[in-house]
Structure 1
Amino acid sequence: MTVKETLNDGLKRGYEIKITAAELDAKVLEKLKEAQPEVEMKGFRKGKVPMAMMKKQFGPKVLGEAMQESVDGAMNTHLETSGDRPAMQPEMKMANDEWKEGDDVVVNVSYEALPVVPEVDFSKIKLEKLVVKADDESVQEALTSLAETAKNFDDRKTGSKAKDGDQVIFDFLGKVDGEPFEGGAAEGHALELGSGQFIPGFEEGLIGVKAGEDKNVEVTFPADYNAEHLAGKVAVFECKILNVKEPKTSEIDDEMAKQFGAEDLAGLKGQITSKLEEEYAGAARAVTKRALLDELDKMVSFELPPSLVEAEAGQIAHQLWHEDNPEVEGHDHPEIETTEEHTKLADRRVKLGLLLAEIGQKAEIHVSDAEFTQAVMNQARQYGDQARQFFEFVQKNPQMQQQIRAPLFEDKVVDHIVEAAAMKEKEVSKDDLQKAVEALEEE
């Protein structure tokens, strides 16, 4: 078996792998001998089938396996010896399209090698960390917002009609075709009109009711309702109105604070302050990260694999096209051409991606199973009742797992660099931080 270099131009590599017919035949014989003890054939005891018959029966299949294993083995040995890391899956092609058993196997291999990434002196990177303190006005705004969500309800004057936003206390019995259905009845139920808790049309049907009044509300269950026996059916709800209440915003006091798990108002203010400053710190980190990536982009230069840049530019163009054409959900659309701007952005992304990967590898940075699981859980919460299905999808989808791990790894590498960089804190206002964040979105 021989491996001969045929191309060495920049990052482009080409090799000819040759496996002689004798080597391949020996490989086939070896595999047949390994299988022989377990082979049974009519007229022969288990393990006693003659090799000639074994070769006639299983030879073609084993030949294909032996050929693939030999080529893969030669390629792996070459990569270990040369230290090359292909940027993408190497392209392999038989040199002789008319190959037949008994011929030598010659395979042409081509790929682009990942470049040598230069070292970076992190201490030469100068960064600014924006610090924002939660002011009294921001805390008060948050308290007012909480008070609105923690609103109570007071009885309306006798005879008052229910308005949108009011709370109606009522008994109800739902019927389809004159017959009650399971889950369609309740007593003393409290419903805030306009909250969307009931099926469309129900809450609107209670607008204008008074305490002590009986009201029949007719609605149609949605065609995709989760209870199939009710989907698309017309139902009548017999409602007995017990009380009508108007909303009243909670007082900002110790009692309201207890509704949110705090001991008193001072404790709630402390929680809000911590939460706001945590949010500010997250936004400031995004600003610092962008500044760091900009610095690395300017500091480091090396040759990039054209195939990676081309693939990244294509993904960018495709993503931006769909953002401009949100009505097209699938991929049945005209071919999307990449522009110079797409390629320029792809250059930056590929360079920084390779650089951060190299830094992370040298620093032995890894995403632990616990960190990965926590990230999956955070994403799963967005799917509500479908969280379990999302978990199962991630478990079966290696590509999705990589999509979740990649940003976790990148953030850990960024933190590693930031720790060694020259960092200077700068206290700014909330508005200044907001402008800095908006500037990121505009780029």
Structure 2
Amino acid sequence: MQVQLETLSNLERRITIALPMTEIDAKVTERLKRAARSAKIQGFRPGKAPFKIVEANYGPQIREEVIGEQVQQSFYVAVAQEKQRIAGYPRFEAAQESADLENFKFSAVFEVFPEVVVGDLTSAEIEKPVTPVGDAQIEQTIEILRKQRTRFNYVDRAAAEGDRVIIDFKGSIDGVLFAGGSAENHAFVLGQGQMLADFEAGVTGLKEGETKSIEVAFPEDYHGKDVAGKTAVFEITVKNVSEAQLPAIDADFAKALGVADGDVEKMRAEISKNVAREVKRRLASRTKENVMQALLDATKIDLPKSLVELEVGRLMDQARQDLQQRGMNIKDMPFPAELFTAQAERRVALGLILSAVVEANKLEAKPEQVNAMIAEFADSYEHPEEVAKWYAESAERMEGPTSMVLEDNVVEFVLSQAKVVEKEVAFDALMGNNA
């Protein structure tokens, strides 16, 4: 086997391989002889046809199979011999016409992994968010849980902020009803911004059975372009006014949150534990994102196009599956690759950089770290031991927590090298609370 390696660009290579035709012919003949033992050819008993007839019937197909196998095998032997680290899949090409009849020649164009040199991290400034959690945050969380379980009770009075109203309405512009401007039995809570401010102001103060016409000015940037910047007249009829009633913090409330014996103190302890866990998770996620950005900023890297294309394909598949799960028909929906390119490039770059950091600094995940990560996952379940067993039963399942430990190890390493600046983040901002 003759091998010639060319450098086409920083990451692209072409390897040309010549395989002796005598070796290919010998393998074809060997396989034809095996096929002849059981070949079924009309006019002959199975396995009794003359070799030349077997060759005429099966030769072209078998030669094609042998050449295909030899191309694949010799390619990987050659790149190993040349110490090339292939990124993505090779593109095989037929070699140019040659007077050499003694060899079968072909070429393969492929990309190699780039050399990753992580930049100086000691000069990097990384923001590490912190959020204090105390009694006030626990009480706030309890209030949110109460609001999530709000019940609305009918009241015979004028609607006020915080009440749920059920209305019929018809909207018109210049005396003409417009699309989407009418509804029956429409329910919403006053004061939550579910409707335009002018609309809610017009409903406030009305009692069940009352009708009122109001003017509503749509903002210039309103999402409905047909009505944006216009003023509509709505005729509104109130059909129901209900007052919000939050559940008491008692045994029934505790049971609704999963505390079997209704012990309120146990409930508070459980909520405190869950809030602390969630705050820790979200802070760690933000810190990790800041660390990853610092690594990207510090490291200049050429990305193999083939790896980016593969990642784009994965992201497109994920997007399709997500939309399908939401019940959307995506059969004819276009998925332009450029929508996913930037994200794919970021993910490929981080994958290469993280691998380099782990290898250079011996940050491999230790078994005890992975087990601790799984234990942390399992702690939020009713039967933690079953969750731990589920992970341990499959090497594929273990990849998730192992990967997370690797990332955590990298985060800790980078933070130990860089200048860390703590920044307090408000509890509401971290948790995305509106309360």
Asked if Structure 1 and Structure 2 have the same fold, meaning a TM-score greater than 0.5 normalized by the shorter chain, the answer is yes
Which residue in the other structure is 1:116 paired with? Answer: 115
Written as runs of structure 1 = structure 2, the 5 A alignment for 1:185-196 is none
Written as runs of structure 1 = structure 2, the 5 A alignment for 1:99-248 is 104-118=103-117, 129-150=128-149, 248=245
Contact kept, 8 Å, 2:118 with 2:353, in 1: the verdict is no
| Pair 1:365–1:17, CA change in 2 (3 A) | farther
Which residue in the other structure is 2:237 paired with? Answer: none
Correspondence for 1:251 among 237, 240, 248: 248
**SS of corresponding position for 1:26:** helix
Which residue in the other structure is 1:415 paired with? Answer: 408
Q: Deviations over 1:336-380 (max 9, x none)?
A: 699xxx77x766543222122455677666999xx99xx9xxxxx
Which residue in the other structure is 1:52 paired with? Answer: 52
| Pair 1:427–1:265, CA change in 2 (3 A) | farther
Quote the offset at 1:312 in angstroms. Answer: 6.8
RMSD: 5.2
Quote the offset at 1:28 in angstroms. Answer: 0.6
**SS of corresponding position for 1:133:** coil
Partners of 1:194 and 1:293 lie apart in 2 by 45
Letter in 2 for 1:417: V
Partners of 1:26 and 1:316 lie apart in 2 by 46
Quote the offset at 1:250 in angstroms. Answer: 2.2
Contact kept, 8 Å, 1:2 with 1:19, in 2: the verdict is yes
Partners of 2:92 and 2:56 lie apart in 1 by 29
Q: Deviations over 1:153-183 (max 9, x none)?
A: 98999xxxxx9799xxxxxxxxxxxxxxxxx
Q: Deviations over 1:272-321 (max 9, x none)?
A: 2222222211221122112211232244334433555678799999x99x
**SS of corresponding position for 2:87:** coil
Q: Deviations over 1:68-93 (max 9, x none)?
A: 01111110101222232222321111
| Pair 1:130–1:335, CA change in 2 (3 A) | closer
Which residue in the other structure is 2:351 paired with? Answer: 353
Which residue in the other structure is 2:37 paired with? Answer: 37
1:273 aligns with 2:266: no
Partners of 1:131 and 1:258 lie apart in 2 by 32
Contact kept, 8 Å, 2:120 with 2:298, in 1: the verdict is no
Contact kept, 8 Å, 1:123 with 1:422, in 2: the verdict is no
Which residue in the other structure is 2:283 paired with? Answer: 284
Letter in 1 for 2:16: E
Quote the offset at 1:122 in angstroms. Answer: 8.9
Partners of 2:348 and 2:152 lie apart in 1 by 57
Quote the offset at 1:146 in angstroms. Answer: 2.9
Quote the offset at 1:58 in angstroms. Answer: 0.5
Letter in 1 for 2:32: L
Letter in 2 for 1:63: R
Which residue in the other structure is 1:434 paired with? Answer: 430
Partners of 2:120 and 2:62 lie apart in 1 by 53
Number of residues of Structure 1 aligned to a counterpart in Structure 2: 315
Partners of 1:110 and 1:85 lie apart in 2 by 13
**SS of corresponding position for 1:90:** strand
Quote the offset at 1:406 in angstroms. Answer: 9.2
| Pair 1:285–1:426, CA change in 2 (3 A) | same
Letter in 1 for 2:424: V
| Pair 1:155–1:366, CA change in 2 (3 A) | same
Letter in 2 for 1:257: A
Letter in 2 for 1:67: I
Contact kept, 8 Å, 2:20 with 2:104, in 1: the verdict is yes
Which residue in the other structure is 1:224 paired with? Answer: none
Partners of 2:411 and 2:11 lie apart in 1 by 31
Contact kept, 8 Å, 2:150 with 2:244, in 1: the verdict is yes
Which residue in the other structure is 2:26 paired with? Answer: 26
Contact kept, 8 Å, 2:27 with 2:66, in 1: the verdict is yes
**SS of corresponding position for 2:89:** coil
Partners of 1:277 and 1:425 lie apart in 2 by 22
Q: Deviations over 1:251-288 (max 9, x none)?
A: 22344223323342222111222222222112211221
Letter in 2 for 1:411: M
For structure 1, which runs of at least 5 residues remain unmatched after alignment? 158-162, 167-192, 196-207, 209-244, 321-326, 376-401, 439-443
Contact kept, 8 Å, 2:137 with 2:427, in 1: the verdict is no
Quote the offset at 1:125 in angstroms. Answer: 8.1
**SS of corresponding position for 1:38:** coil
Could you tell which deviates more after superposition, 308-317 or 248-257? Answer: 308-317
Quote the offset at 1:411 in angstroms. Answer: 3.2
**Normalization by structure 2: what TM-score?**
0.56
Contact kept, 8 Å, 1:122 with 1:420, in 2: the verdict is no
Partners of 1:363 and 1:84 lie apart in 2 by 25
Partners of 1:259 and 1:284 lie apart in 2 by 29
Contact kept, 8 Å, 1:87 with 1:114, in 2: the verdict is yes
Letter in 2 for 1:82: E
Partners of 2:48 and 2:329 lie apart in 1 by 63
Letter in 2 for 1:76: Y
| Pair 1:408–1:97, CA change in 2 (3 A) | farther
Written as runs of structure 1 = structure 2, the 5 A alignment for 1:293-308 is 293-306=292-305, 308=307
Which residue in the other structure is 1:77 paired with? Answer: 77
Quote the offset at 1:425 in angstroms. Answer: 9.4
Letter in 1 for 2:258: G
Partners of 2:290 and 2:338 lie apart in 1 by 31
**SS of corresponding position for 1:89:** strand
Q: Deviations over 1:412-440 (max 9, x none)?
A: 321121344445795835359639x99xx
| Pair 1:107–1:357, CA change in 2 (3 A) | same
**Normalization by structure 1: what TM-score?**
0.55
Which residue in the other structure is 1:91 paired with? Answer: 91
